Structure 1
Amino acid sequence: MVHKLTAITLSIYALIAGCLLLFSYADKTIWQQFIYAIIFIVIPIIGTLSSLYGDKGGISLVLLLMASQVIRPLTPFEFFPFYAPFSLAFPFGQIEQGKGYLFDIFAFVM
Protein backbone atom coordinates (compact mmCIF):
# COMPACT_ATOMS: atom_id res chain seq x y z
CA MET A 1 0.00 0.00 0.00
CA VAL A 2 2.81 2.41 0.86
CA HIS A 3 4.58 1.60 -2.40
CA LYS A 4 1.45 2.34 -4.42
CA LEU A 5 0.89 5.63 -2.60
CA THR A 6 4.51 6.60 -3.26
CA ALA A 7 4.17 5.65 -6.92
CA ILE A 8 0.98 7.69 -7.31
CA THR A 9 2.53 10.72 -5.58
CA LEU A 10 5.67 10.60 -7.73
CA SER A 11 3.56 10.15 -10.88
CA ILE A 12 1.54 13.26 -10.06
CA TYR A 13 4.79 15.12 -9.28
CA ALA A 14 6.20 14.19 -12.70
CA LEU A 15 2.91 15.03 -14.43
CA ILE A 16 2.80 18.51 -12.88
CA ALA A 17 6.43 19.11 -13.92
CA GLY A 18 5.64 17.94 -17.44
CA CYS A 19 2.66 20.28 -17.68
CA LEU A 20 4.74 23.18 -16.39
CA LEU A 21 7.38 22.53 -18.98
CA LEU A 22 4.96 21.84 -21.82
CA PHE A 23 2.31 24.52 -21.34
CA SER A 24 4.36 27.41 -19.97
CA TYR A 25 6.60 29.75 -21.82
CA ALA A 26 10.10 29.66 -20.43
CA ASP A 27 12.73 32.21 -21.26
CA LYS A 28 15.52 29.73 -20.59
CA THR A 29 17.44 27.74 -23.16
CA ILE A 30 16.57 24.27 -24.41
CA TRP A 31 19.47 22.84 -22.41
CA GLN A 32 18.10 24.27 -19.15
CA GLN A 33 14.64 22.92 -19.94
CA PHE A 34 16.16 19.52 -20.72
CA ILE A 35 17.95 19.42 -17.35
CA TYR A 36 14.69 20.44 -15.62
CA ALA A 37 12.91 17.58 -17.41
CA ILE A 38 15.58 15.08 -16.37
CA ILE A 39 15.51 16.15 -12.73
CA PHE A 40 11.79 16.74 -12.18
CA ILE A 41 10.18 14.36 -14.70
CA VAL A 42 12.50 11.44 -15.45
CA ILE A 43 13.80 10.87 -11.91
CA PRO A 44 10.28 10.75 -10.38
CA ILE A 45 9.17 8.36 -13.14
CA ILE A 46 12.16 6.14 -12.35
CA GLY A 47 11.14 6.35 -8.69
CA THR A 48 7.58 5.38 -9.58
CA LEU A 49 8.69 2.29 -11.46
CA SER A 50 11.21 1.43 -8.76
CA SER A 51 8.57 1.74 -6.08
CA LEU A 52 6.20 -0.54 -7.94
CA TYR A 53 8.84 -3.16 -8.75
CA GLY A 54 10.79 -2.93 -5.47
CA ASP A 55 14.09 -1.67 -6.90
CA LYS A 56 16.16 0.17 -4.29
CA GLY A 57 18.42 1.99 -6.78
CA GLY A 58 15.67 4.14 -8.26
CA ILE A 59 14.19 4.92 -4.88
CA SER A 60 17.59 6.10 -3.63
CA LEU A 61 17.81 8.37 -6.68
CA VAL A 62 14.48 9.96 -5.71
CA LEU A 63 15.72 10.21 -2.12
CA LEU A 64 18.69 12.27 -3.32
CA LEU A 65 16.38 14.50 -5.38
CA MET A 66 14.06 15.14 -2.45
CA ALA A 67 16.97 15.67 -0.05
CA SER A 68 18.32 18.37 -2.37
CA GLN A 69 14.91 20.10 -2.36
CA VAL A 70 14.32 20.24 1.42
CA ILE A 71 16.15 23.54 1.98
CA ARG A 72 16.68 25.83 -0.99
CA PRO A 73 17.21 29.57 -1.52
CA LEU A 74 14.20 31.86 -1.67
CA THR A 75 15.35 33.40 -4.92
CA PRO A 76 14.86 31.05 -7.86
CA PHE A 77 17.81 29.18 -9.25
CA GLU A 78 19.07 30.89 -12.36
CA PHE A 79 19.57 27.57 -14.08
CA PHE A 80 16.06 26.11 -13.83
CA PRO A 81 13.17 27.66 -15.74
CA PHE A 82 10.73 26.94 -12.87
CA TYR A 83 10.69 25.96 -9.22
CA ALA A 84 10.00 22.40 -8.15
CA PRO A 85 6.62 21.27 -9.53
CA PHE A 86 4.98 20.75 -6.13
CA SER A 87 6.11 22.36 -2.94
CA LEU A 88 4.78 22.98 0.55
CA ALA A 89 7.55 25.34 1.55
CA PHE A 90 7.81 27.71 4.48
CA PRO A 91 10.21 30.66 4.29
CA PHE A 92 12.74 31.41 6.99
CA GLY A 93 15.63 33.82 7.27
CA GLN A 94 15.72 37.36 5.87
CA ILE A 95 12.77 37.07 3.52
CA GLU A 96 12.26 40.84 3.25
CA GLN A 97 15.55 41.23 1.42
CA GLY A 98 15.11 38.09 -0.67
CA LYS A 99 17.99 36.30 1.02
CA GLY A 100 15.98 33.75 2.98
CA TYR A 101 15.49 30.06 2.46
CA LEU A 102 12.55 27.76 1.90
CA PHE A 103 11.99 24.66 4.00
CA ASP A 104 9.95 22.24 1.89
CA ILE A 105 7.72 19.98 4.00
CA PHE A 106 6.67 17.86 1.00
CA ALA A 107 10.25 17.00 0.06
CA PHE A 108 11.06 16.32 3.72
CA VAL A 109 8.16 13.89 4.08
CA MET A 110 8.93 12.12 0.82
Structure 2
Amino acid sequence: MKFKVASSILALYTLIGLGVTIYSDFESDLSALVSILLYVLIPAYGTYGTWTKSRIAMLITLVFFISQSVRSVGTDGLIPHIAPITISFPVGDFSNGQGYLIDLFAISMAVFLAWLLKLVITPNKHIKRT
Protein backbone atom coordinates (compact mmCIF):
# COMPACT_ATOMS: atom_id res chain seq x y z
CA MET A 1 0.00 0.00 0.00
CA LYS A 2 2.80 2.44 0.85
CA PHE A 3 4.43 1.91 -2.55
CA LYS A 4 1.12 2.64 -4.28
CA VAL A 5 0.71 5.85 -2.26
CA ALA A 6 4.20 7.00 -3.24
CA SER A 7 3.54 6.06 -6.84
CA SER A 8 0.28 8.03 -6.83
CA ILE A 9 1.97 11.11 -5.38
CA LEU A 10 4.72 10.88 -7.99
CA ALA A 11 2.14 10.44 -10.77
CA LEU A 12 0.35 13.58 -9.57
CA TYR A 13 3.69 15.40 -9.45
CA THR A 14 4.39 14.26 -13.03
CA LEU A 15 1.01 15.42 -14.35
CA ILE A 16 1.26 18.81 -12.65
CA GLY A 17 4.84 19.12 -13.89
CA LEU A 18 3.70 18.38 -17.43
CA GLY A 19 1.01 21.03 -17.19
CA VAL A 20 3.36 23.62 -15.74
CA THR A 21 5.98 22.84 -18.38
CA ILE A 22 3.51 23.11 -21.24
CA TYR A 23 2.08 26.45 -20.11
CA SER A 24 5.34 28.08 -19.00
CA ASP A 25 7.02 30.61 -21.23
CA PHE A 26 10.68 29.58 -21.30
CA GLU A 27 13.39 31.86 -22.61
CA SER A 28 15.22 29.05 -24.41
CA ASP A 29 14.49 25.60 -25.77
CA LEU A 30 17.26 24.16 -23.60
CA SER A 31 15.53 25.44 -20.48
CA ALA A 32 12.27 23.82 -21.61
CA LEU A 33 14.09 20.54 -22.28
CA VAL A 34 15.68 20.60 -18.82
CA SER A 35 12.28 21.33 -17.30
CA ILE A 36 10.72 18.37 -19.11
CA LEU A 37 13.54 16.13 -17.94
CA LEU A 38 13.38 17.29 -14.32
CA TYR A 39 9.68 17.71 -13.74
CA VAL A 40 8.14 15.12 -16.09
CA LEU A 41 10.52 12.31 -17.07
CA ILE A 42 12.33 11.70 -13.77
CA PRO A 43 9.12 11.71 -11.66
CA ALA A 44 7.41 9.48 -14.26
CA TYR A 45 10.31 7.05 -14.02
CA GLY A 46 10.00 7.25 -10.23
CA THR A 47 6.29 6.50 -10.50
CA TYR A 48 7.04 3.36 -12.46
CA GLY A 49 9.93 2.48 -10.13
CA THR A 50 7.94 2.74 -6.93
CA TRP A 51 5.08 0.76 -8.44
CA THR A 52 7.42 -2.07 -9.49
CA LYS A 53 9.81 -1.60 -6.53
CA SER A 54 12.80 -0.93 -8.77
CA ARG A 55 15.80 0.12 -6.69
CA ILE A 56 17.50 2.10 -9.46
CA ALA A 57 14.39 4.14 -10.30
CA MET A 58 13.70 4.85 -6.65
CA LEU A 59 17.31 5.90 -6.09
CA ILE A 60 17.26 8.28 -9.08
CA THR A 61 14.01 9.81 -7.84
CA LEU A 62 15.42 10.09 -4.32
CA VAL A 63 18.47 11.97 -5.63
CA PHE A 64 16.15 14.23 -7.65
CA PHE A 65 14.10 15.18 -4.59
CA ILE A 66 17.24 15.73 -2.54
CA SER A 67 18.47 18.12 -5.23
CA GLN A 68 15.14 19.96 -5.16
CA SER A 69 15.04 20.41 -1.39
CA VAL A 70 17.10 23.63 -1.40
CA ARG A 71 16.87 25.85 -4.47
CA SER A 72 18.58 29.12 -5.24
CA VAL A 73 16.30 31.84 -6.55
CA GLY A 74 17.72 33.87 -9.37
CA THR A 75 16.97 34.70 -12.97
CA ASP A 76 20.33 33.75 -14.47
CA GLY A 77 20.16 29.95 -14.07
CA LEU A 78 19.50 27.37 -16.75
CA ILE A 79 17.28 25.26 -14.51
CA PRO A 80 13.85 26.83 -14.06
CA HIS A 81 12.58 27.12 -10.51
CA ILE A 82 9.04 25.96 -11.08
CA ALA A 83 8.59 22.93 -8.87
CA PRO A 84 5.14 21.47 -9.64
CA ILE A 85 4.26 20.80 -6.00
CA THR A 86 6.05 22.83 -3.39
CA ILE A 87 5.69 23.74 0.25
CA SER A 88 8.65 25.99 0.74
CA PHE A 89 9.84 28.85 2.86
CA PRO A 90 12.36 31.52 1.92
CA VAL A 91 15.76 32.00 3.47
CA GLY A 92 17.96 34.96 2.69
CA ASP A 93 17.56 38.32 1.01
CA PHE A 94 15.24 38.28 -2.00
CA SER A 95 15.53 41.98 -2.84
CA ASN A 96 18.42 41.41 -5.26
CA GLY A 97 17.34 37.98 -6.43
CA GLN A 98 19.62 36.32 -3.91
CA GLY A 99 17.98 33.81 -1.65
CA TYR A 100 17.06 30.20 -1.19
CA LEU A 101 13.85 28.25 -0.98
CA ILE A 102 13.77 25.28 1.36
CA ASP A 103 11.14 22.93 0.02
CA LEU A 104 9.46 20.86 2.72
CA PHE A 105 7.56 18.76 0.17
CA ALA A 106 10.80 17.71 -1.55
CA ILE A 107 12.40 16.92 1.81
CA SER A 108 9.41 14.84 2.92
CA MET A 109 9.33 12.97 -0.41
CA ALA A 110 13.05 12.29 -0.13
CA VAL A 111 12.59 10.86 3.37
CA PHE A 112 9.59 8.80 2.24
CA LEU A 113 11.46 7.43 -0.78
CA ALA A 114 14.53 6.68 1.34
CA TRP A 115 12.35 4.70 3.73
CA LEU A 116 10.75 2.78 0.85
CA LEU A 117 14.16 2.15 -0.69
CA LYS A 118 15.36 0.78 2.64
CA LEU A 119 12.38 -1.58 2.68
CA VAL A 120 13.25 -2.82 -0.80
CA ILE A 121 16.98 -3.22 -0.15
CA THR A 122 16.90 -4.90 3.25
CA PRO A 123 15.40 -8.38 3.37
CA ASN A 124 12.64 -9.28 5.74
CA LYS A 125 14.33 -10.24 9.01
CA HIS A 126 11.26 -11.82 10.50
CA ILE A 127 12.04 -15.54 10.31
CA LYS A 128 9.56 -18.04 11.64
CA ARG A 129 11.26 -20.43 14.03
CA THR A 130 9.88 -23.92 14.65
Pairwise same-fold verdict (TM > 0.5): yes
Gaps of 5+ in 2: 110-130
Q: Give the number of aligned pairs.
A: 109
SS at match of 2:102: strand
CA deviations 1:48-95 (Å, max 9, x no partner) are: 111010101000001111001111113256313451111111001223
Q: Where do residues 25-64 of structure 1 align in structure 2 (5 Å cutoff)?
A: 25-64=24-63
Distance in 2 separating the partners of 1:92 and 1:53: 37
Measured at CA, do residues 53 and 103 of structure 1 come closer, stay the same or move farther in structure 2, by a change above 3 Å?
same
- Give runs of aligned pairs for residues 1-110 of structure 1, distance below 5 A: 1-22=1-22, 24-76=23-75, 78-110=77-109
Structure showing greater Rg: 2
Task: Provide structure 1 residue ranges, at least 5 long, that are not aligned to the other structure.
Answer: none
Partner secondary structure for residue 28 of structure 1: coil
Matched to 2:3, the amino acid is: H
- Which amino acid letter does the alignment assign opposite residue 103 of structure 2? D
State the identity as a percent.
26
In structure 1, how many angstroms separate the alpha carbons of the residues matched to 2:59 and 2:76? 24
Q: Is the CA contact (8 Å cut-off) linking 1:26 and 1:81 kept in structure 2?
A: no
1:6-38 per-residue CA deviation (whole Å, 9 max, x = no partner) reads 10111111101111122x241322222112111
Looking at structure 2, the residues matched to 3 and 13 of structure 1 have their Cα atoms a distance apart, in angstroms, of: 15
Tell me if structure 2 keeps the 8 A contact 1:10–1:48. yes
Q: Secondary structure of 1:79's match? A: coil
Aligned partners of 1:91 and 1:58: how far apart in 2? 30
Distance 2:107 2:63 in 1: 11
AA partner of residue 93 (structure 2) = Q
- When normalised by structure 2's length, the TM-score is 0.76
Q: Secondary structure at the match of 1:7?
A: helix
Contact 2:73 2:81 in 1 (8 A): no
Distance 1:80 1:26, change over 3 A: farther
